[in-house]
Copies of this chain bind each other. A is one copy, B any other.
Amino acid sequence: MARKQSYSHSELLDLTKRLVLERGYDGFNLKLLSEHLPGARSTIYQYYANKDEIIAACMKRSIGAILEKASALDETDSMRALQELLDIYLEEFQLHQLLADAYKIKTTASEAARRDIEYVESAHEFLKVQLTRLFQKAQQEKHLREDIPLPVHVGMFFNLINTPNMMNVPVPEWSRMLFQIWMGGAKQ
């Protein structure tokens, strides 16, 4: 008796991600969303209770994808693991930008949004812990300069993903290039 849904949750979230990246949290609105989807604006409320839940779900899904790959990482060889981690991060380099507006999400009104944002934060935490663990290992194995505090190493590494890829180098190569300069330095 129930009509078939004309689009899936996943399609809705894909679209949301694209639009939030294009317009930011405030620029994204349900009218815009519905214009890119079949059906009426109000139909969206059949999928999510409000705007914040949509964006929260979108963020959760995005960081979830990374978390999954990062969890599966073989950490035996610390330097190799770091290089692979950079691959993973660069593959979804927009994540940083997407999550930038997470603080705007009003979690008070919506339980689901609150849960999703909590997940996002714990995923963030996991990644940070993993990164720290790898760096500690790398430093113990004397791969890294010891005169630099570990958090600085971590921050600098993590910040690599924001380097503008103005020449559109393909991701795998780009990843290797960044890693190399980061390790070996820019000097001749």
A positions within 8 Å CB-CB of B: 24-27, 101, 104, 142-146, 148-149, 151-153, 155-160, 162-167, 169, 177-178, 181-188
A-B residue pairs in contact (CB < 8 Å), sample of 23: A24-B25, A25-B26, A26-B27, A27-B104, A145-B181, A145-B184, A148-B177, A148-B181, A151-B167, A155-B163, A155-B164, A156-B181, A156-B186, A157-B186, A159-B160, A159-B162, A159-B163, A162-B162, A182-B185, A182-B186, A183-B185, A183-B186, A183-B187
State the oligomeric state as a number of copies: 4
Asked if B188 contacts A185 (CB within 8 A), the reply is no
- For A164, what are the chain B residues with a Cβ–Cβ distance below 8 Å? 155, 158-159
Given contacts A182-B186, A187-B143, contact A166 B155 (CB under 8 A): yes
- For A151, what are the chain B residues with a Cβ–Cβ distance below 8 Å? 166-167
CB-contact partner of A145 in B152, B153, B158, B188, under 8 A = B188
Given contacts A156-B178, A157-B186, A184-B185, contact A149 B167 (CB under 8 A): yes
